[in-house]
């Protein structure tokens, strides 16, 4: 029966059936063959979303969308230009830096790719004439977005695992996010070192520096609201998302004055769509998890893995491979919803810190956003640049190598980032 389930799922995915519906169809098939009650199927769909913590998801998305629509990005851009614009290949460095800053506002890599991409890919092409490199940098650096808090994948992870606090995960993401940013900046410097790019020679006076920094601060308040709210304990993640929305509306209408009601409407539509896409995956995942549990699959998998190795380090190595392979084919939210309920308890039985395993999971699966065949960020960036996915992919290879090394470091040397959540008492 398990074989039927897996084969049905994989065949459906290969045939371009959306991942959520593939999961639903495979599960409904085994329910029917197995004589499981279909009324339970409907119940599990509903109860899959019957968790208040999930409400944070649409609110975080909306906050990010509103911030994106209120001219915040151009302020982040100016500030990044001030910091790294005069370096060789400045626009590429700016792209990475903006993603670190924007990551503090937005919890989604895809939103980052499309927002930063539409501002920078064409501009970079005009300046340096290499659209594939511009698109590749945009895609790979957008992965920083969900690692620096706030983060939608972390919300979903905390929901699926149930044994880790979202505040602790957020704190754990700070160091790896910055580390990943530095890695990409260094990789960019190496890539452009042999190239003959024109340089930006703008000179900034003290007054410019002051003005640009002040404008930057309007944007920098948002992550402080979101993260400090959750970490400082005066707000649940949901409430923090809501406060961020209120701030984004205030900033957009009264500070930057670039937000319009039409943009608010568009942001809400976007939020509804993304929410539905993610939530239906979670809902079908909940039905599928029920069936797998009944079949004893989680128990069998953990017995098997524990039979293979007793070492936590080996376990992380196995998970690294599993996540990289799964991440290539299955979208991040779906992968988490399917795998985390099985592997998070297993990680705990190996004595691995739940925060460490959560961060490792989010980060490793995020690589799937920039690897074919389902590299969503690659698709978005290629679409904006008007070039083929294959070309972006080739330009991204050196970056992927660099990112993979960072992931290895994060996976096997958790001490470099766990001190931060520890310091806050988690």
62 binds, among Na ion, another protein, none (CB under 5 to 8 A by kind): another protein
Kindly state whether residue 351 participates in binding another protein, applying the rule CB under 8 A. Answer: no
Nearer to another protein, 16 or 201 (CB): 16
Instruction: Give the contact letters, 369-408, x = binds to another protein (CB under 8 A), - = no.
Output: ---xxx-x--xx--x-----x-------------------
Q: Which stretch binds Na ion (CB under 5 A): 8-16, 105-113, 162-170, 294-302?
A: 105-113
323 binds, among another protein, Na ion, none (CB under 5 to 8 A by kind): none
Q: Which two tokens stand for residue 58?
A: 């649409």
Kindly state whether residue 131 participates in binding another protein, applying the rule CB under 8 A. Answer: no
Binds another protein by CB under 8 A, chosen from 46, 250, 412, 419: 46
Kindly state whether residue 18 participates in binding another protein, applying the rule CB under 8 A. Answer: yes
Query: Where in 171-230 is the site for another protein (CB under 8 A)?
Result: none
Q: Which two tokens stand for residue 301?
A: 């998998």
Q: What is the rounded distance in angstroms from the CA atom of residue 367 to the CA atom of residue 363?
A: 7
Kindly state whether residue 142 participates in binding another protein, applying the rule CB under 8 A. Answer: no
Binds another protein by CB under 8 A, chosen from 271, 288, 356, 361: 271
Kindly state whether residue 332 participates in binding Na ion, applying the rule CB under 5 A. Answer: no
Binds another protein by CB under 8 A, chosen from 123, 277, 318, 409: 277
Q: What is the rounded distance in angstroms from the CA atom of residue 369 to the CA atom of residue 326?
A: 11
Q: State how far Cα 407 lies from the chain centre.
A: 14
Query: Where in 228-247 is the site for another protein (CB under 8 A)?
Result: 232-236, 238-239, 241-243, 245-246
Q: What is the rounded distance in angstroms from the CA atom of residue 161 to the CA atom of residue 343?
A: 9
Binds another protein by CB under 8 A, chosen from 293, 309, 311, 349: 293
Binds another protein by CB under 8 A, chosen from 80, 99, 332, 371: 332
Q: Which stretch binds Na ion (CB under 5 A): 148-156, 241-249, 287-295, 393-401?
A: 148-156
- Yes or no: say if 151 and 107 are a contact pair by the CB < 8 Å rule: yes
55 binds, among another protein, Na ion, none (CB under 5 to 8 A by kind): another protein
Q: How many CB atoms lie within 10 A of CB 110?
A: 21
Kindly state whether residue 20 participates in binding another protein, applying the rule CB under 8 A. Answer: yes
Query: Where in 247-266 is the site for another protein (CB under 8 A)?
Result: 265
Binds Na ion by CB under 5 A, chosen from 80, 141, 238, 356: 141
Kindly state whether residue 124 participates in binding Na ion, applying the rule CB under 5 A. Answer: no
Nearer to Na ion, 72 or 292 (CB): 72
- Yes or no: say if 343 and 299 are a contact pair by the CB < 8 Å rule: no
Q: Taking the complex as a whole, how short is the minimal distance between the CB of residue 370 and another protein, in angstroms?
A: 13
Q: Taking the complex as a whole, how short is the minimal distance between the CB of residue 274 and another protein, in angstroms?
A: 6
Kindly state whether residue 329 participates in binding another protein, applying the rule CB under 8 A. Answer: yes
Q: Taking the complex as a whole, how short is the minimal distance between the CB of residue 127 and another protein, in angstroms?
A: 26
- Yes or no: say if 374 and 332 are a contact pair by the CB < 8 Å rule: no
Binds Na ion by CB under 5 A, chosen from 27, 36, 80, 99: 99
- Yes or no: say if 62 and 271 are a contact pair by the CB < 8 Å rule: yes
Residue 361: Cβ-neighbour burial (10 angstroms; 0-12, 13-18, 19+): buried
Kindly state whether residue 290 participates in binding another protein, applying the rule CB under 8 A. Answer: yes
Site for Na ion, rule CB under 5 A = 95, 99, 103, 107, 116, 138, 141, 145, 148, 150-151
């Amino acid at each position: 029966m398990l074989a039927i389930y897996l084969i049905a799922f994989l065949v459906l995915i290969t045939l371009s059936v959306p991942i959520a519906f593939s999961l639903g169809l495979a599960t409904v098939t085994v329910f029917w063959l197995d004589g499981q009650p279909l009324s339970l199927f409907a119940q599990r769909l509903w109860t899959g979303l019957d968790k208040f913590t999930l409400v944070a998801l649409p609110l975080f998305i909306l906050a990010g969308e509103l911030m994106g629509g209120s001219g915040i990005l151009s302020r982040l851009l100016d500030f990044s230009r001030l910091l790294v614009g005069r370096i060789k290949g400045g626009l590429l460095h700016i792209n990475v830096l903006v993603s670190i800053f924007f990551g503090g506002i937005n919890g989604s890599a895809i939103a980052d790719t499309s927002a930063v991409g539409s501002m920078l890919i064409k501009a970079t092409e005009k300046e340096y004439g290499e659209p594939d490199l511009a698109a590749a940098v945009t895609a790979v650096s957008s992965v920083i977005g969900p690692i620096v808090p706030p983060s939608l994948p972390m919300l979903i992870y905390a929901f699926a695992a149930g044994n880790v606090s979202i505040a602790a995960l957020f704190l754990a993401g700070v160091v790896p996010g910055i580390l990943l940013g530095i890695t990409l900046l260094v990789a960019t410097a190496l890539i452009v070192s042999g190239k003959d790019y024109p340089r930006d020679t703008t000179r900034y006076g003290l007054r410019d520096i002051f003005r640009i920094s002040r404008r930057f601060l309007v944007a920098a308040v948002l992550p402080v609201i979101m993260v400090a709210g959750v970490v400082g304990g005066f707000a649940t993640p949901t409430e923090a998302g809501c406060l961020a929305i209120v701030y984004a509306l205030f900033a957009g209408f009264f500070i930057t004055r670039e937000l319009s009601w039409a943009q608010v409407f568009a942001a809400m539509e976007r939020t509804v769509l993304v929410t539905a896409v993610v939530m239906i995956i979670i809902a079908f995942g909940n039905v599928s998890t029920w069936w797998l549990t009944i079949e004893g699959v989680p128990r069998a998998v953990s017995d098997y893995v524990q039979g293979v190795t007793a070492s936590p380090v080996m376990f992380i190595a196995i998970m690294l491979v599993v996540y990289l392979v799964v991440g290539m084919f299955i979208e991040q939210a779906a992968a988490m919803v399917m795998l985390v309920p099985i592997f998070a308890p297993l990680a705990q039985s190996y004595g691995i810190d739940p925060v460490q395993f959560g961060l490792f999971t989010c980060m490793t699966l995020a690589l799937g956003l920039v690897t074919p065949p389902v590299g969503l960020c690659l698709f978005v960036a290629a679409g904006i640049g008007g070039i083929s996915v294959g070309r972006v992919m080739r330009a991204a290879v050196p970056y992927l190598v660099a990112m993979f090394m960072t992931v290895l470091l994060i996976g096997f040397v958790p001490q470099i980032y766990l001190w931060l959540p520890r310091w806050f008492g988690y």
